[in-house]
Structure 1
Amino acid sequence: MKEAYGEMNLEMIKELSEAHGISGCEKEVSRVMKKWLEPVADEITYDNIGSIIGLQKGKENGPKVMICGHMDEVGFLVREIDENGFIRMLPVGGWWGHVLPAQTLYVTTKEGKRYHGVVGSSAPHGLPAEVKEKVIKPIDMFLDLGVESREEVLELGIQIGDMITPDTKFEVMNNPNYLMGKAWDDRLCAALAVDVLYRIQKDAHDANVYAVGTVQEEVGLRGARTAGNMIHPDVAIALDVTTAMDTPVDQGDIKLGGGVVLSVMDAGIIGHKALLHEMEDICRDLNLDINYDMMTVGGTDADNIHKAHAGIITMTLSIPTRYMHSHRLIIHRKDYVQTVEAIAEFCRRVNWDKIKEMNQGIR
């Protein structure tokens, strides 16, 4: 069995993964991120919808570099409580019906109390073929809390609009390079943004580096817009996950353990070419692996950031994950570690001359 690749703060990774926070309900997650930012950030601020911004200062009036990963995870809201105590759920973010039946979820009340339930499913015995082969829409599913009535649900303090999230514990897999948890989309990259500050804290750098945990990415990249406008960065790197194409049902070039993934474009952005070439040079200088990602569907926080003000030099770096938008995702340590190394080196190198050079590269 191979040894674990590189250095990772598994305690931070675990805490962020196991925190509960769908779009619009990210406070628990931001508190965890704040805990890990405090030792390495000179200032911690927030935008007005909850994105957390940790600044590690470089030179006075040095260029601003924004590194962001979104804190929200896909989940549900309590939509309806029927007379028998079953909860109908409203999906927040994209869910595929196949991954939900018989899975356990938590409902979190306004007071922060958490209650366990299971998504209802039917026994296969005697079901018509057309029913067995049909994917149930998430909005048609229900959560069973193991109660007798609507009144019992209300006695627990559960009400319409409460957050519902997956029940998953972080786990190091049988090969220690493989890590499983919930909310890797995109808590993994929120952790990565923090980790960059730890890597450069003892290094001289001109850049004022902002590690940002954005909110409400899964419902429209909203925190990226507000945080980007608040910081007004000179360069931004959005961090997000991408689909690993290395399973029996998904086949392609992006695989776990392949190293750095540079996103050329997605549905909302064509990555800044000069920044892309700079990241390629850094990866070659550090002997890091280079992979390329191109998507025609979906996007990242970069899609909103690059359009702020007069335009921001922006691109996305991606971490491959298996089983995205489900209860349990798997990632590989090498992809995380190499991406941290690449971005940390960029933060050490970037200065106003480099910014000018990148701007001239597209004019």
Structure 2
Amino acid sequence: MDLGLLKALSDEFGPSGFEDRVRKIISANINGSIIDAMGNLIGQVGESGPRVLISAHMDEVGFMVTHVDQRGFLRIAPLGGLDAWTMLGQEVMLRNKEGELVRGVVGVDPPHLRRDRPPSKFEELYVDAGFSSREDAARAGVMPGTPGTFSASLVALGNAVMGKALDDRVGAYALIEAMRRTRDSNASLFFAWNTQEEVGLRGIQAVVNRVNPDLAIVVETTTAADVPGNPEEQWITALCGGAAVRAMDRSMITNPVLLSKSLEALEARRVKYQVQVNPYGGTDAGAVHIHGTGVPTLVISTPARYIHSPRSVACIDDIEQVVNALMAVLSSVDTLMDSIARRD
């Protein structure tokens, strides 16, 4: 596994709507691609047969500056699903108008000055980037509209990795690996790294309009709640349990024929997997599967603890199993399409 590439993807700045630095890394690691008006990156392998979309989103949860006060403190609003309390005391980075990264910290009261409760709303948060005034911030290129996100560096934790933005830089990594391993195909495979998933499945809609797929695979990072205090029936997925293949979530019920035949393909290649039933969230598949007259769509995910927070933890073997699962499904496209058409 290329941990150096995963680290580069994880560490990079890329909240929703500002994915260009991440896109540059991906583009440098694949052959041939286009960039559409939404900032999506699309590469293709094969030019005949069924049209298959394989996608992962580039963006991460983050925030945007809404106000700079007279003393240089920054008020912020979320980009994506973030709880305010997870940000207290966290190091963050902002991208100024010159494209440079500026460091800061989300303010938190010391224990002896703590109020009755910690801040629970974004309106109560502020970022301290060391500015002495509004004018000082402006000179540094920081103003309302400046985007930001967490600052963290990917590190190994035994057979796991810990870093920011594993949702969905792990998926982006898996797509790069799958495209590298796919020399040719009897199908037209479209590998897409899309934008703005975290703020409403936006980039993927432009992708499906362009590709008009017959079949789709969405590669995600998903909740692993196998932690103290959670009963096993509420884990959703477990770390090091293998690739998570989704049966349903709030936005999609997987085509049962596609699910069954995909699991057969994984078993034939001895890919370790776990079936995921997730009543709490959704993915880009929610938009993809209702495109046009309908697109059979599969979601394959890497389990990770603590997603949508400053740092997440994922199992290295699970990441490798996701790549293996992708390769197993892509090698079975003809069988999958025939079975779906026959509904058997």
TM-score by length of 1: 0.90
Q: Deviations over 1:174-200 (max 9, x none)?
A: x1x201111111111011111111222
Residue 126 of structure 1: CA displacement? 5.1
Q: Does structure 2 conserve the Cα–Cα contact (< 8 Å) formed by 1:245 and 1:251? A: no
1:200 equivalent among 168, 182, 196: 182
Within a 5 Å distance, the mapping from 1:167-206 to structure 2 comes to 167-173=151-157, 175=158, 177-201=159-183, 204-206=184-186
Q: Does structure 2 conserve the Cα–Cα contact (< 8 Å) formed by 1:108 and 1:164? A: yes
Q: Does structure 2 conserve the Cα–Cα contact (< 8 Å) formed by 1:12 and 1:191? A: yes
Alpha-carbon distance between aligned partners in 1 of 2:19 and 2:269, rounded to the nearest angstrom? 35
Within a 5 Å distance, the mapping from 1:344-359 to structure 2 comes to 344-351=327-334, 354-359=336-341
Q: Does structure 2 conserve the Cα–Cα contact (< 8 Å) formed by 1:107 and 1:115? A: yes
Q: Does structure 1 conserve the Cα–Cα contact (< 8 Å) formed by 2:266 and 2:272? A: yes
Alpha-carbon distance between aligned partners in 2 of 1:72 and 1:205, rounded to the nearest angstrom? 28
Provide structure 1 residue ranges, at least 5 long, that are not aligned to the other structure. Answer: 1-7
Residue 67 (structure 2) aligns with: 80
C-alpha RMSD of matched pairs (Å): 1.5
Residue 256 (1) aligns with residue 245 (2): no
Residue 81 (structure 2) aligns with: 94
2:227 equivalent among 247, 251, 266: 247
Residue 153 of structure 1: CA displacement? 0.6
Residue 210 (1) aligns with residue 213 (2): no
Q: Does structure 1 conserve the Cα–Cα contact (< 8 Å) formed by 2:163 and 2:311? A: yes
Q: Deviations over 1:66-124 (max 9, x none)?
A: 11110010001111000000000111111122211111111111211111111111112
Q: Does structure 1 conserve the Cα–Cα contact (< 8 Å) formed by 2:14 and 2:58? A: yes
Within a 5 Å distance, the mapping from 1:104-183 to structure 2 comes to 104-125=91-112, 127=114, 131-132=116-117, 134-173=118-157, 175=158, 177-183=159-165
Q: Does structure 1 conserve the Cα–Cα contact (< 8 Å) formed by 2:64 and 2:146? A: yes
Q: Deviations over 1:274-309 (max 9, x none)?
A: 111122101211222231111222200100011111
Q: Does structure 1 conserve the Cα–Cα contact (< 8 Å) formed by 2:258 and 2:336? A: no
Q: Does structure 2 conserve the Cα–Cα contact (< 8 Å) formed by 1:274 and 1:359? A: no
Residue 9 (1) aligns with residue 2 (2): yes
Alpha-carbon distance between aligned partners in 1 of 2:113 and 2:326, rounded to the nearest angstrom? 55
Q: Does structure 1 conserve the Cα–Cα contact (< 8 Å) formed by 2:265 and 2:332? A: no
Q: Which moved more, 1:281-290 or 1:296-305?
A: 281-290
Alpha-carbon distance between aligned partners in 2 of 1:208 and 1:67, rounded to the nearest angstrom? 11
Q: Does structure 2 conserve the Cα–Cα contact (< 8 Å) formed by 1:77 and 1:160? A: yes
Determine what percentage of the aligned residue pairs are the same residue.
Answer: 32
Residue 53 (1) aligns with residue 22 (2): no
How many residue pairs are counted as aligned between the two chains?
A: 341
SS of equivalent to 1:37: coil
Question: Which AA in structure 2 matches 1:54?
Answer: G
Residue 331 (1) aligns with residue 314 (2): yes
Residue 234 (structure 1) aligns with: 214
SS of equivalent to 2:59: coil
SS of equivalent to 1:355: helix
Alpha-carbon distance between aligned partners in 1 of 2:231 and 2:10, rounded to the nearest angstrom? 26
Alpha-carbon distance between aligned partners in 1 of 2:303 and 2:162, rounded to the nearest angstrom? 13
Question: Which AA in structure 1 matches 2:37?
Answer: N
Alpha-carbon distance between aligned partners in 2 of 1:286 and 1:249, rounded to the nearest angstrom? 35
Q: Deviations over 1:292-333 (max 9, x none)?
A: 111222200100011111111102112111111111111001
Question: Which AA in structure 1 matches 2:4?
Answer: E
Provide structure 2 residue ranges, at least 5 long, that are not aligned to the other structure. Answer: none
TM-score by length of 2: 0.95
Residue 289 (structure 1) aligns with: 272
Q: Does structure 2 conserve the Cα–Cα contact (< 8 Å) formed by 1:244 and 1:250? A: no
Question: Which AA in structure 2 matches 1:167?
Answer: S
Runs of at least 4 residues of structure 1 off by over 2 A? 249-253
Residue 222 (structure 1) aligns with: 202
SS of equivalent to 1:36: coil
Q: Deviations over 1:224-248 (max 9, x none)?
A: 1110111111110111121112211
Q: Does structure 1 conserve the Cα–Cα contact (< 8 Å) formed by 2:34 and 2:43? A: yes
Q: Does structure 2 conserve the Cα–Cα contact (< 8 Å) formed by 1:53 and 1:212? A: yes
Q: Deviations over 1:21-80 (max 9, x none)?
A: 111111111111111112xxxx411232111111112xx421121111100100011110
Q: Deviations over 1:133-176 (max 9, x none)?
A: x5521232000011211111111111210111111011112x1x
Alpha-carbon distance between aligned partners in 2 of 1:250 and 1:228, rounded to the nearest angstrom? 37
Q: Does structure 1 conserve the Cα–Cα contact (< 8 Å) formed by 2:15 and 2:63? A: yes
Q: Does structure 2 conserve the Cα–Cα contact (< 8 Å) formed by 1:239 and 1:318? A: yes
1:265 equivalent among 248, 251, 262: 248
Question: Which AA in structure 1 matches 2:198?
Answer: E
